[in-house]
Structure 1
Amino acid sequence: MRHLYSCPLRWSDMDAFGHVNNAVFVRYLEEARIDFMRRLAPGDGSPSFTGGSVVARHEIDYVRPLVHRPAPVTVELWVTRISAASMTVAYEVKDEDTLYLRASTVVVPYNFAEERPRRLTAEEKAILKEYLADASHQEGAVAV
């Protein structure tokens, strides 16, 4: 399953050439990831996905320039790897006809009170597995 996020383009996102600035795409990925994590939190007093997280790594492939326009783009997000203390999220930024960017982010759950990473809980892993890409379609995907 993939999470879909409709991302508005802002006037300030443009560079001097009318394209969305390359660094702005990282903000788009962050917005989609935050939306995803908020939707994952099960509620009902569960602590899953309610703590913090930090980004350990971004990898971005810019496929095509995105010209500023009033219509939003879609950020598709899914999980490609779940380990004991991290997850890897993949993204595509696109509209109906055009792919602009492919990216991935390694996210580490983090306990800010103790100032250290923490392990994913069994409940968090189970929820994330719903978004885990089929390993046969994702090179290097591993579920733990």
Structure 2
Amino acid sequence: MTATTGDAPGQPYAASVALRWSDMDAYAHINNVQFLRLLEDARVIAFRDWFDQDRSLLDEGVLVSRHEIEYRRPLGFRAAPVRVEMWVSRIGGAGFDVAYVVRDPDGVGDAVYAVAETELALYDFASARPRRMRPEERASLAVHLGDRAPLRRRR
């Protein structure tokens, strides 16, 4: 799995995420539930880059509180990874949202397979309570801030 950051301001961050044979279902395409794993894998790659050596966000805790996903077309198993473009779509006091577009990687095609958004809540596992966002976390996220996910329901 690899990652690239957009060359120009406003370009989404992109992670290449490999498909697994076990992601495929009886219909010979990637199962809808496995798309959430693809998003999670892409988030882990992105957070490693977005927060650099400051691992506090991941070490202290961040929990998924909501997913919204639209499946645009079936994704068959293949050796080429998918490209997960992502950006921060909302920054709040104790959480943030990440938007995604799952598509073919450069040179493979131009298909969009899914559009999604995940709401994440900051959490302190030591105290078992939600926590407020720190200024340095907000600054790291603000670099990747963009529009809401282009979900059809919102148009």
**2:20 is the alignment partner of 1:13:** no
**2:86 is the alignment partner of 1:73:** no
Tell me the matched-pair count: 136
- 1:23 and 1:68 map into 2 onto residues whose CA distance is 14
Q: Within 5 Å, which residues of 2 pair with 1:1-144? A: 1-43=11-53, 46=54, 48-49=56-57, 50-95=59-104, 96-133=109-146
- 2:62 and 2:23 map into 1 onto residues whose CA distance is 25
The change in CA–CA distance for 1:6 and 1:118 in structure 2 (over 3 A counts) is: same
TM-score, length basis structure 1: 0.87
SS in 2 for 1:84: coil
Q: Is the 8 A contact 2:115 2:150 kept in 1?
A: no
**Aligned Cα RMSD in Å?**
1.9
Moved over 3 A (4+): none
Identical counterparts, % of pairs: 46
Shift of 1:53: 0.6
- 2:74 and 2:81 map into 1 onto residues whose CA distance is 15
Shift of 1:39: 1.5
5+ unaligned residues in a row in structure 1: which ranges?
A: 140-144
Shift of 1:48: 4.4
- Corresponding residue for residue 3 of structure 2: none
The change in CA–CA distance for 1:138 and 1:27 in structure 2 (over 3 A counts) is: closer
- Corresponding residue for residue 142 of structure 1: none
Letter in 1 for 2:121: V
5+ unaligned residues in a row in structure 2: which ranges?
A: 1-10
Letter in 1 for 2:28: G
The change in CA–CA distance for 1:21 and 1:124 in structure 2 (over 3 A counts) is: same
Letter in 1 for 2:19: L
The change in CA–CA distance for 1:23 and 1:8 in structure 2 (over 3 A counts) is: same
TM-score, length basis structure 2: 0.81
